[in-house]
Chain A
C-alpha cells in the first residue's frame, strides 16, 4: 500500500476522542499500530485510569512507565503508558522544583489529593503535561517517539480537557505553571497535533461528533479525521433492500429458496427472515442518513468494519491495516 497518500505526515500527536461506546480505545490502538508500521516507534497513552489499552491488547496492566505492548508489521513497535495524575504531580514537582521531602509533606496535608481531584483543571494540566513531555522527548538529537497517540477523554469533555491549559493561563497570570501551560497550549494548537473523532452511525454519536468538530474548531484545535467504526457490509443489494424496507420482498421466492436448500419453509422461519430483512433495511437507511450528516461536516472520513466475532488482538491488526489502506497512517 506504499502508493497510498499519508494524510497526517508531520503530525506528531494524534488525539483520539469519541462518544463512550464508539470504540475510541480500539481505534486509538489500531491507529498506533498503523503508525508504527515499517520500523516506527509509537507511544499509545491513556489518561482515564481505565486500563483500556491493556484490555484491547489483552496484556497485563499498563503502568506509569512506558513499555512495549505490541510489534507492528515491518519491525515497528508500539509502547503503552497509562498516565496517572498523582504520579504526574509528584514527578512534576520533583523535576521542576527539586523539592525532596516536600513531596511527602504535600501528600500528608492532602495537597496532592486536592491538586489531582478537587482543584479545577490541575488534573488535566498534569495529564496533558505528561503527554506533552512524551511528544517532545529527545534522545541523541532526535525524537524518542515518531508519533504519540492519545486515547483521550470522550467527545463531550475533549475541548475542556485539551483547552485546560489555556484556562490555566487565564487563572495563573504569573508563575511556572503558567509557562508550562503556555508550552502545552502552543503544541496542541500547532500543525503537529490533530484530534480525530470516532463515531458510529447512530444519531447520538453523530450529533456529538458534529458538536465536537464545531467546538474543537472554535477552540482553535485542528480536527483530523472522522473514523466511522463498526460499519456493516450490506448483505442485500440496493433493489432488494428497498423492497425489504417496504415489506415487499417476494415471499413465494423465499419459500421456494428454502425448499431448494433443504429447509422446511415454516411460517415462523419465513416470517422471521422477512422481519429481519426489514429491520436490516431500516437500520441501513438510518445509517445512510447519519453517514450523510458526517460527510457534510467536512473532515476526511475513514471506515472500520464491525467484526462479527468482536475485536481480539488479530482483529486489531486487521483494523490497523484498514486505517493504513485508507491513508490515515
Chain B
C-alpha cells in the first residue's frame, strides 16, 4: 500500500500526498477500482466519473453501479435495471476507449447463480421457496454479496472475452461501509457452519426420528427454533437449505475467489468521503480495515469540498462588510463580503475536520472534488468531476 502510494503520488511540503488519479487510471496494471465509503458521500458519482475519465483516456471500462440517482443513470443510458452492461453513448472515444455501465439487480444475480448451479427442476424448486424469495430480496447482506459476486463474474468475462481492461465498482449503501467486505465471508461461514448441518438434518434423515440420533444439544436448538419461528418456517428453511446443498461449495469458493481478487495487485480501493465528521470517521475505519485485510488502498477522495474564489480572510471580509454597513453605503459589496465570509468559515471548518483525518492517516494520498453548485447528472458534469479528481 505504501509503496504504491509513494509511486503514484507526489509529496507536498505539508499535508498528505496527492492521489495521482490519471496515473492510476492509465496504468494498464489497474484492473479493478472499488469505490467505498459511508452513504451519501458520492460513491456512485465518483465511480462514474473515474470510469468515464478512464474510458476517454483510452481504456475499455465497465462500471458497476448499485443505486444511482435516476438522472445520473439516464445520463449513462441506464434506463432499465437489467443487470447487463450496456455501452454508454456520447463519450469521447478518440483514444480508442469505451465505457459500459450496468446497475446491479441483486435478485436476478442470485437467481442466475441458482440456475447455473442446478438442474432446471431443482432451480424451479429453489426459486419458488418462500424462504429463498425472502433471502434473495431482503436479507441484510445479500446486496453486498451479490455486488461482489457480480464483480467476480465481470472479471471472469473480461478475462475470457477481453471485453474490458478496467472494472470500476460502486459499493452498496450499507448500514456500515464495511458490510460488503464482511457479508460474503459471513454467508460463507454460515454455509459451512454447524448450524446449516443441523438444518439439513431433518431433510436428510427424514421425519422427526433424527432427534433421537443427535445430541440433546441439537434437539434443544431445533426445539427452540421450532418454538420461536414455528415449525413451518423451519421446514421451509430446511427444504431450502437442502435444495441449495449442492451449490454450497460453489458459493463459498466464489466468495473466496472474489475476496482474493480484492487483495490482488491490480485492485485499487478508493475511499470516498465528504469533509464531515461521520463520513470521515467511516473513511478512517475503512482505511484501517483495508490495511488489516491487506487490500490495496489507492487513496482518499474528498467530495463536496468548499473553497473560496477570492483571496481574503473571513475576518477581514466581515470587518469590511461591517464598516460598509455602518456607513450605510455599498450594500451590494457588503453582501458579497458576507457571502465570502460565510464560505471562508465553512472552508475553515472542513479543513480542521480533514486535518484530523490527515493526522491519523498521514500517508493516504488524497484527491479533492469541489462542491458544485449543480447536481451531477450528465456526461459533461461527470467529466468536470473527473477533471477535478485528476487536478493536482
Q: Does A pair with B? A: yes
A: residues with CB less than 8 A from B are: 19-22, 48-50, 52, 55, 93, 96-97, 99, 101-102, 105-106, 108-111, 113-114, 117-121, 123-124, 153-154, 156, 160, 164, 167, 170-178, 202-205, 207, 235-237, 240, 249-250, 253-254, 256-258, 260-263, 266, 268-269, 271-277, 279-280, 282-283, 286, 308-310
Is B217 a contact partner of A105 (Cβ separation < 8 A)? yes
Interchain CA distance A268-B194 in the complex, whole Å: 70
8 Å CB contact of A276 from B217, B230, B308? B308
Is B324 a contact partner of A204 (Cβ separation < 8 A)? no
* B contact residues around A177 at 8 Å (CB): 228-230, 233
Interchain CA distance A196-B181 in the complex, whole Å: 31
Interchain CA distance A268-B206 in the complex, whole Å: 83
CB distance from A17 to the nearest CB of B (A): 12
* B contact residues around A49 at 8 Å (CB): 175-176
Interchain CA distance A124-B377 in the complex, whole Å: 34
* B contact residues around A160 at 8 Å (CB): 138
**Residue on B nearest A108 in the bound complex, by CB:** B217
**Residue on A nearest B135 in the bound complex, by CB:** A120
Interchain CA distance A203-B335 in the complex, whole Å: 27
Interchain CA distance A280-B39 in the complex, whole Å: 26
Task: Say if the beta carbon of B70 comes within 8 Å of chain A.
Answer: yes
Is A109 a contact partner of B217 (Cβ separation < 8 A)? yes
Is A110 a contact partner of B190 (Cβ separation < 8 A)? yes
CB distance from A233 to the nearest CB of B (A): 9
Is B338 a contact partner of A235 (Cβ separation < 8 A)? yes
CB distance from B323 to the nearest CB of A (A): 5
A257-B349 contact, Cβ under 8 Å, with A114-B190, A177-B228, A269-B312? no
A273-B336 contact, Cβ under 8 Å, with A111-B225, A171-B131, A172-B232? yes
Is B230 a contact partner of A178 (Cβ separation < 8 A)? yes
* A contact residues around B39 at 8 Å (CB): 19-21, 154
CB distance from B107 to the nearest CB of A (A): 12
Interchain CA distance A207-B74 in the complex, whole Å: 14
Binding site of B, secondary structure by majority: helix, strand, loop or mixed? helix
Task: Say if the beta carbon of B162 comes within 8 Å of chain A.
Answer: no
A249-B310 contact, Cβ under 8 Å, with A19-B39, A48-B175, A93-B228? no
* B contact residues around A203 at 8 Å (CB): 69, 71, 375, 377
A interface footprint on B358-387 (CB within 8 Å = 1, 0 otherwise): 000000000000000111010000000000
* A contact residues around B332 at 8 Å (CB): 240, 249-250, 253-254, 257
Interchain CA distance A278-B228 in the complex, whole Å: 62
Query: How many residues in B have their beta carbons less than 8 Å from beta carbons of A?
Result: 78
A175-B231 contact, Cβ under 8 Å, with A257-B332, A260-B330, A268-B310? yes
A117-B230 contact, Cβ under 8 Å, with A253-B330, A308-B349? no
Interchain CA distance A263-B341 in the complex, whole Å: 14
Minimum-distance CB pairs A-B, first 4 = A257-B333, A20-B39, A175-B230, A21-B40
Is B345 a contact partner of A21 (Cβ separation < 8 A)? no
Is B224 a contact partner of A207 (Cβ separation < 8 A)? no
Is B224 a contact partner of A97 (Cβ separation < 8 A)? yes
Is A172 a contact partner of B233 (Cβ separation < 8 A)? yes
A263-B312 contact, Cβ under 8 Å, with A102-B220, A105-B220, A250-B332? yes
Interchain CA distance A318-B195 in the complex, whole Å: 51
**Residue on A nearest B370 in the bound complex, by CB:** A279
A109-B195 contact, Cβ under 8 Å, with A253-B330, A282-B374, A286-B373? yes
Stretch among B110-118, B257-265, B272-280 lining the A interface: B272-280
Interface residues of B in 100-143 (CB under 8 A from A): 130-131, 134-135, 138-141
* A contact residues around B346 at 8 Å (CB): 308
Interchain CA distance A127-B71 in the complex, whole Å: 34
Is B224 a contact partner of A99 (Cβ separation < 8 A)? yes
